[in-house]
Structure 1
Amino acid sequence: MATEVTDFYGRRYRVGESDRELLGHSRNWVLAAACVAMLVAGAGQYGFGLIVGGDYWLLAIWVATQAVAVFPMAWLRERLHVKPMLAMPAGAVLTAAGDLFQGPATAVLGGLGAAVVYGTCFGVVAKWFPERRTYLGLVSGSFAAGAVLFATPLPIIALVVITAAGIVLREPPADWWPAKPDPRKWALDKTVNLSLRHSRPAIRNYTPGQLLRCPTSAVMYVLVACAAAAWLFDVAYTAAFVASSGWGYAFAAVTVCVLTLASGVARWATGWAGEQFGVGRVVRAALALGALGQLLMIVAGQHQSGVLMVFAALLVGTTAGCCYALLPALVEAHFGDQAGLLNFGLVYSAKAVGGIVGIGLATTMVAMYGFAAGFLLAAGLGVLGAVAAAMLRQPGVPRLLVPA
């Protein structure tokens, strides 16, 4: 029997129903289905960069469309109460059309399809795991790991796998919470909720409109745009840079695989670091170390050091994965969790700016000044992002608190 409880902050929770009662099986099946669907949807991001022969503007169009569309697609789905069983097949058709890699039109369709899948999977998993936000890193990491599928028959795989995942993805009742832990203890007890050791919850829940009017959102937007631009530059240009530095295509492919898989694996494991050291600290450190990795890429290419190149790719991929995995927690820590995916979608849309700068406009810079200039720009953007992360302040909280 379901009952409603309220915590210290006034947040409501629906407790008393288990996931097995509501689904007929463990909620872990929902997590697994979401990860598989995201793996397939994310493959197009790398397909446009690799299969279409280096037409980087197509990749920029795909990325910009996907990033911008996450918020409106999620808003429409919530507004119209579209169930995942209906949203996912639509996303599958759009993703399959995009995976034909035939030009700007398919890049837009692929980006829209990925946005539908991304928003649906992210939203459903967040509702089923309200006490385990780190699991969102598994979903995000699967999207990044889609690079391993870019050379497969993606349209067929997208239609079958994403549609099948939609059958498994079902949403819980509003404000659902599992039997354990007690949500009232979770809101206050640092021994139960480890993330409270380094950050307090948002002072209140912000709607998307209120978020846009808050200066903190502008700082966070800059942070995400810088991180995305640096990361997407690496995704687009690493293979060409490695090949132009004297290595063969095989080593270039290995380097790209290390880069992308490191990002995916890091997203799966980053939640622990955020709980132990604080989300803000980990994001700042990741951006700074990522900038160092960009510089190491240049050194490795100039000295033709294969070991250093692989290490640099590992460092860049890992730190980028950390930033993306912790972004949902960063948004919730500043703006609350009530709007959930909608607030995240607004901040995530900064990835579109990063795609245009890091992929599209970088084409001109690389053509004029070489790859080293592009990696220097990526390093500078990483440093700027770290500075922006250091400037983040929770809205409504004074800089100096009265001692207890």
Structure 2
Amino acid sequence: MTTADLSTSVPFREVTDANGRTYRLGESDIDIMGRKRKWMVILPWVGMMGISSAEYAFASAEDTLHHAHNWNSGHIYWMMTVWVFFQAAVAMPAGRLRETGRLPARWAMMLGATGTLLGYLSLAYAPHVIFAYIGFSVFSGMGAGMVYATCVNMVGKWYPERRGGKTGFVNGGFAYGSVPFVFIFTGFMDITNFRWVLVSAGLFLAALVACAGFFFRDPPKNWWPAEVDPLNPPADPRARRALEKNPPAMKQYSPGEAWRTGRVALMWCCLACTSGVNIFGIAFQVDIGQDAGFAAGIVATAMSLKAIVNGTGRGVIGWLSDLYGRKKCLLHVCVILGLAQFGIIWSAEMKSLPLFLFFSAVSGFGGGAIFPMFAAMTADYFGENNNATNYGMVYSSKLVSGLGAGMGFLVVDAWGLNGAFILAGSISFFAGFLALFLAAPGRDRKGNPLVKAGPAPVIRETD
């Protein structure tokens, strides 16, 4: 039995709207878990910060790991690529296990904490590079995938009426939580102290994830906050505008039903393009900065700025998407991300540090903002009950986009850094073109139902 299936002593009623969607009303967040639902924003945010350094700060440790272990630089980039592969690969099966009750949220977070620790231990003590691939790329990647999927879906379940800003805030922890470690790995860690630095980081981050996850709890299926009327415009102007711009799913779609709408495949392709560009930038912005002659400390500052804006941008774009709609914001983000790649090339060729820092920040904003858009949009399109699996299908696009590091290494080798960044910018524009065709199942591109509503709503009281 999962926490979502636990009954409470508080009576509730189930309301079925004219489209056939059911809402469970009457139980407050305190009735269900003994605390305000804002904790299901704060705790997932902390958990996301605990896994962020494995992706966003790893490139900053490249030089030290290369000299400490005598690993080829290519191994570092492919290690990151394999990490992203396993992080994405575990999202859908973990989501399915969560929804069937076989993997409670708390245990998913504990497994994620264990994987995080194993990843850092392997980077510190691996006797051969293959052990680093197994410990960091496989176990740490899978652990991060469990934490990511659990945290993002948790907040969407507790805020079904206004999920954009909350999802963006939680998602942001996956980026700016890495900022201290970018500086530590770049400016403090060297071949004389790398082992204790990595082990200390692993222990601290694993404890952070485990402590946050210990208090996780899911709401019941179809739960809806009692103070927000699902059948009429809510009194809260923020919730009212969010629901007008991003109306809830017409029904709770199963993974098979969601796939058959064709939207999952389109979202998969769009996210594959944009997240690939994001990962490429994380891996190679240090290189293009150093190639332009900027000092290592300056490049670290640029990467930290990128991570900070990447994280805060997720919260900002999530909030804006509640105001103006997910699709409109997604289109703007794709264009911004594409333009930023060309801006990085321009600033590096001019050797202009202010411009390089500016476009690094813009690239970070665009690269981060895409993720909360798709996380919230998946629930908007297909409902919350199967969102862990449905978003897992969309997020599995990182199985391909993770090649942004490994394949990026080959593209840079063949075309140079400028050619690789031009390709990245072009891919971002293509993703924006794909996003033009997105629309919620059962609704037109303006959000209006395609078919006439059915009978009057049905209300069932439950003791």
TM-score after normalising by structure 2: 0.81
1:126: which partner in 2?
A: 156
Q: CA deviation at 1:192?
A: 4.5
Question: Which SS does the other structure have where 1:392 is aligned?
Answer: coil
Question: Considering only CA atoms, is the larger Rg found in Structure 1 or Structure 2?
Answer: 2
Count of residue pairs the alignment pairs up:
403
The question of 1:146 aligning with 2:193 is answered no
**Structure 2 CA distance for aligned equivalents of residues 13 and 215 of structure 1:** 26
The 5-angstrom pairing of residues 23-42 of structure 1 reads 23-42=33-52
Deviates more, 1:248-257 or 1:49-58: 49-58
2:430: which partner in 1?
A: 384
Q: CA deviation at 1:104?
A: 1.0
1:208–1:367 distance in 2 versus 1, CA, 3 Å: same
1:297: which partner in 2?
A: 344
Question: Which SS does the other structure have where 1:247 is aligned?
Answer: coil
- Cα pair 1:8 1:187 within 8 Å, conserved: no
The question of 1:72 aligning with 2:93 is answered yes
- Cα pair 1:73 1:116 within 8 Å, conserved: yes
Q: CA deviation at 1:193?
A: 2.6
The letter of the residue matching 1:387 is F
- Provide, for residues 182-227 of structure 1, a one-character-per-residue CA deviation record: whole Å limited to 9, x for no partner: 2222599998431344454444443212233333322211110110
- Cα pair 2:98 2:388 within 8 Å, conserved: no
Deviates more, 1:139-148 or 1:5-14: 5-14
Question: Which SS does the other structure have where 1:370 is aligned?
Answer: helix
The letter of the residue matching 2:146 is V
**Structure 2 CA distance for aligned equivalents of residues 158 and 126 of structure 1:** 24
1:3: which partner in 2?
A: 12
- Provide, for residues 72-117 of structure 1, a one-character-per-residue CA deviation record: whole Å limited to 9, x for no partner: 1121122244322322222111111112334211211111100111
The letter of the residue matching 2:32 is L
Q: CA deviation at 1:10?
A: 2.5
Deviates more, 1:345-354 or 1:213-222: 213-222
The question of 1:333 aligning with 2:380 is answered yes
**Structure 1 CA distance for aligned equivalents of residues 153 and 399 of structure 2:** 20
- Provide, for residues 221-279 of structure 1, a one-character-per-residue CA deviation record: whole Å limited to 9, x for no partner: 11101101111111111011101111110110011111111010011122221122221
**Structure 2 CA distance for aligned equivalents of residues 111 and 242 of structure 1:** 27
1:192–1:41 distance in 2 versus 1, CA, 3 Å: closer
The question of 1:246 aligning with 2:293 is answered yes
Unaligned runs of 5+ in 1: none
- Cα pair 1:39 1:143 within 8 Å, conserved: yes
The letter of the residue matching 2:276 is A
- Cα pair 2:162 2:239 within 8 Å, conserved: no
Pick from 96, 121, 128: which aligns with 2:117? Answer: 96
The 5-angstrom pairing of residues 79-228 of structure 1 reads 79-100=100-121, 101=123, 102=126, 103-106=132-135, 107-134=137-164, 135-150=166-181, 151=184, 153-185=200-232, 192-228=239-275
- Cα pair 1:39 1:146 within 8 Å, conserved: yes
Question: Which SS does the other structure have where 1:183 is aligned?
Answer: coil
2:457: which partner in 1?
A: none
The letter of the residue matching 1:146 is G
Q: CA deviation at 1:362?
A: 1.1
1:276: which partner in 2?
A: 323
1:237–1:24 distance in 2 versus 1, CA, 3 Å: same
1:216–1:21 distance in 2 versus 1, CA, 3 Å: closer
1:191–1:303 distance in 2 versus 1, CA, 3 Å: closer
**Structure 2 CA distance for aligned equivalents of residues 222 and 18 of structure 1:** 38
**Structure 2 CA distance for aligned equivalents of residues 44 and 207 of structure 1:** 32
- Provide, for residues 299-356 of structure 1, a one-character-per-residue CA deviation record: whole Å limited to 9, x for no partner: 0000001111111011111122221121122223333433212111110111221111
1:385–1:77 distance in 2 versus 1, CA, 3 Å: same
1:186–1:72 distance in 2 versus 1, CA, 3 Å: farther
**Structure 2 CA distance for aligned equivalents of residues 69 and 384 of structure 1:** 27
**Structure 1 CA distance for aligned equivalents of residues 266 and 170 of structure 2:** 25
Pick from 440, 445, 449: which aligns with 1:394? Answer: 440
Q: CA deviation at 1:149?
A: 4.3
TM-score after normalising by structure 1: 0.92
The letter of the residue matching 1:242 is G
- Provide, for residues 137-193 of structure 1, a one-character-per-residue CA deviation record: whole Å limited to 9, x for no partner: 111110122322434632101331111112211222332222312222259999843
Q: What is the identity percentage for the equivalent residue pairs of Structure 1 and Structure 2? A: 30
- Provide, for residues 266-298 of structure 1, a one-character-per-residue CA deviation record: whole Å limited to 9, x for no partner: 111222211222211110111011111100000
1:266: which partner in 2?
A: 313
- Cα pair 2:275 2:398 within 8 Å, conserved: yes
**Structure 2 CA distance for aligned equivalents of residues 289 and 331 of structure 1:** 22
